[in-house]
Copies of this chain bind each other. A is one copy, B any other.
Amino acid sequence: MARLTHMAREGKAPDGRSSRWDAHREVRRAELVDAAVRAIDAHGPDVGVASIAAEAGVSKPVLYRYFADKDELYAAVGQWGADEVMDRLLAAILTEASVRDRVERGVDAYLGAIEEHPNVFLLLVRHRTGHGDPLADGKARIAATFARVLGDTLRELGVDAAGAEPWAEGLVGLGLATGEWWLSRQTMTRTAVGRYLTAFVFHALEGTAAELGVPLSALDAPGLVPDSVSPITRRS
């Protein structure tokens, strides 16, 4: 993390001159992320730091007070995008409906979200955090949430839950790749991609569940899901 001066003080007597900025820093950082999002929307996922700074009405060194390097800034944008997507996706999924319907609504919510900020989405697809920290980039964040939901559900049902992680990662990759293809080629309407993607995902889930000996209808009640979700998706 980019650290401002006061972090050098090692937790000794709390000095008001330091703490009075705590709130400010957060909001400022958010503003900068916002500016970065605007810049990326406008100039594509490969904008230079200079352009982002300009969009924020600020010079580079200011930016570097809040983000250690470009990677960290991009990671923050990625998380912003991931939250954007997950907020809608979860809202669509955590409803009372058949699994098929929930998948369909989730997929549509997802496609709608990435359609609004295609460039940010591309960033999310491409960015890899250097220092292997999961949760650092948006993609990993989404995968972690999926893994958690899947894992909890499987454990709840008393079946082998080890597949949760690979499946979560795979699902994310599936969605990202389909989304990227759709956005960059625009050769198919949103509802059409949605239909195909929904079918694919649903059948993968359905068949896998069946193989584990669980009738899919056991999942029609979404009761257990919210708890396992909140701690990760919500912004800190």
Task: Please list the residues of chain A having a beta carbon within 8 angstroms of any beta carbon in chain B.
Answer: 126, 128, 132, 143, 162-163, 165-167, 169-178, 180-182, 184, 187-188, 192-193, 196-197, 199-204, 206-208, 210-211
- Judged by DSSP, the binding face of A is helix
Contact partner of A184 (CB less than 8 A), chosen from B132, B177, B207, is B132
Q: Tell me how far the C-beta of A64 lies from the nearest C-beta in chain B, rounded to whole angstroms.
A: 22
10 additional A-B pairs beyond A169-B177, A203-B207, beta carbons within 8 Å, are A126-B126, A143-B181, A169-B178, A169-B180, A170-B200, A173-B173, A200-B204, A203-B204, A203-B206, A207-B207
Q: Tell me how far the C-beta of A105 lies from the nearest C-beta in chain B, rounded to whole angstroms.
A: 18
Q: Tell me how far the C-beta of A101 lies from the nearest C-beta in chain B, rounded to whole angstroms.
A: 15
The reply to whether A172 and B177 contact each other, CB–CB distance below 8 Å, is yes
Q: Tell me how far the C-beta of A217 lies from the nearest C-beta in chain B, rounded to whole angstroms.
A: 15
Q: How far is the CA of A186 from the CA of B201 in the complex (A)?
A: 25
Contact partner of A167 (CB less than 8 A), chosen from B165, B182, B196, is B196
The reply to whether B196 and A203 contact each other, CB–CB distance below 8 Å, is no
The reply to whether B162 and A192 contact each other, CB–CB distance below 8 Å, is yes
Q: How far is the CA of A203 from the CA of B178 in the complex (A)?
A: 18
Contacts of A182 in B (CB 8 A): 166
Q: Tell me how far the C-beta of A176 lies from the nearest C-beta in chain B, rounded to whole angstroms.
A: 6
Contacts of A143 in B (CB 8 A): 177, 181
Assuming the contacts A126-B128, A188-B162, A207-B204, asked whether A170 and B199 have C-beta atoms less than 8 A apart, the reply is no
| Closest chain B residue to A184, Cβ basis | B132
Contact partner of A208 (CB less than 8 A), chosen from B126, B128, B166, B203, is B203
Q: How far is the CA of A101 from the CA of B173 in the complex (A)?
A: 23
| Closest chain B residue to A204, Cβ basis | B204
The reply to whether B199 and A208 contact each other, CB–CB distance below 8 Å, is yes
| Chain B CB within 10 Å, residue with most, of A176, A177, A180, A206 | A177
Contacts of A163 in B (CB 8 A): 196, 199
